[in-house]
Amino acid sequence: MQDLVKLEEKYTRPSVDFQKDLAKIDGDFMFLGIAGKMGPSMAKLLMDGLNELGLERKVYGVSRFSDPLSKSKLEEIGIECIACDLLDDDALQQLPEVKNIIYLAGFKFGASGKEDFTWAMNTYLPGRVAEKFKKSRIVALSSGNVLPFVPVTSSGVDEEIIPEPIGEYAQSTLGRERIFTYFSKKNDTPILLYRLNYAVDFRYGVIREIAKQVHAGEAIDLTSNNVNVIWQHDANEIAIRSLLHTESPAKVLNVTGPEILSIKWLAEKLGQGLGKEPIFKNDPEPTALLNNAATCFKLFGYPKVSVLEIIEITVQWILSNGDEFGKDTHFQERKGKF
């Protein structure tokens, strides 16, 4: 277990570039929807960075906090937690005014069958948040799911391509972008729409899911045989650093790793580390959901953690019985049903 603690510390330290940018960001911070998959690690990164720089800032974390343990863990690292149902407008309006907003709230898994709630969370709520925090700068997480499937021989989809969302989750997520853009123009609020394609971490993500299948001897579906990924810590750093790049009208930014990866190649590399021969099923489709993050790399540089390092980290974590979130990404879904 001590080895896993050291491994996590090694790959979640604030980078020099992050610290340089963090020192330029004035004001307090608020994470809306902090209790999801990225929120706790992003908040810890921010607190670690502020502490290393000797900066005293308030950092708020807002969530329903249905799991009290998640709230206590955040409070232990210095986050001022506020239990709030963001869809309760009276509660939303009572939140303190804060200069820097990281918007993480949304609903994806379980969207099929809860379409009304999906649209309320993903499209209605952003408008209420944008009005409440019209004087703030906002980084709002979005998703590559709003983009069209493209040939795997392409370089992926950049920010200039017109979205073509499939299914109500993706459609409502595009709605989030459109609503934030509307209020960015209306109120001159600086906003960045952060289109993320597959953050991966010790405890969840595309590469871990493939590794688990290889380790268990399960057949891996190659129908969607290509994917982009980025180490979650790199994605977290970019999200916070993006506060320096918010604009009005809202700026769109694709965030992912530089490679278009083969699922088959990933499985084979993971199999080498795990000592297992991967099993495959189905033939690959010629298209996939792929981001081109060239603009992101121009602004922030390339991700610090490489794909081969991620594979090594994942193998070590699994062989050491590291814990997991148990929430799959459903990255192979092609019909938009989540």
Q: How far apart are CA 196 and CA 200, in angstroms?
A: 11
pLDDT score of 328: 74
36: its two tokens: 């999801």
221 domain residue, yes or no: no
Which residues neighbour 160 within 8 Å (Cβ) at sequence distance 6 or greater?
none
Q: Which domain range does residue 249 map to? A: 2-197+231-256+290-305
Split at pLDDT 50, 70, 90, the class of 2 is low
pLDDT score of 111: 63
Residue 282: how many CB atoms within 10 A of its CB? 13
pLDDT score of 57: 96
Residue 124: how many CB atoms within 10 A of its CB? 16
Kind plus residue range of the DSSP H or E element containing 326 = none
- Mean confidence (pLDDT) of the chain: 94
Residue indicated by tokens 């000797």? 54
**Which tops the pLDDT comparison, 24 or 327?**
24
| 163, 146 contact by CB (below 8 A) | yes
262 domain residue, yes or no: no
**Among 278, 291, 285, CA closest to 229:** 291
pLDDT tens-digit readout, 276-292: 999 999 999 999 999 99
3-state secondary structure of 243: helix
At residue 90, φ and ψ (nearest 5 deg) are: -60, -45
**Among 221, 206, 115, CA closest to 168:** 115
205 domain residue, yes or no: no
307-319 vs 2-10: helix axis angle to the nearest 10? 160
78 domain residue, yes or no: yes
| 129, 87 contact by CB (below 8 A) | no
Q: What is the CATH number of the domain that holds 48?
A: 3.40.50.720
Kind plus residue range of the DSSP H or E element containing 193 = strand 191-196
318 domain residue, yes or no: no
49 domain residue, yes or no: yes
Predicted TM-score of the model (pTM):
0.95
134: its two tokens: 């019209």
* Number of structural domains found in the chain: 1
173: its two tokens: 């997520």
pLDDT tens-digit readout, 302-337: 999 999 999 999 999 999 988 887 767 767 777 777
Rg (CA), the chain: 19
pLDDT score of 332: 75
| 163, 174 contact by CB (below 8 A) | yes
212 domain residue, yes or no: no
pLDDT tens-digit readout, 205-240: 999 999 999 999 999 999 999 999 999 999 999 999
Query: Mean per-residue pLDDT for 148-152?
Result: 95
Q: How far apart are CA 126 and CA 122, in angstroms?
A: 7
44 domain residue, yes or no: yes
Residue 50: how many CB atoms within 10 A of its CB? 20
Strand partners, 195: 142, 254
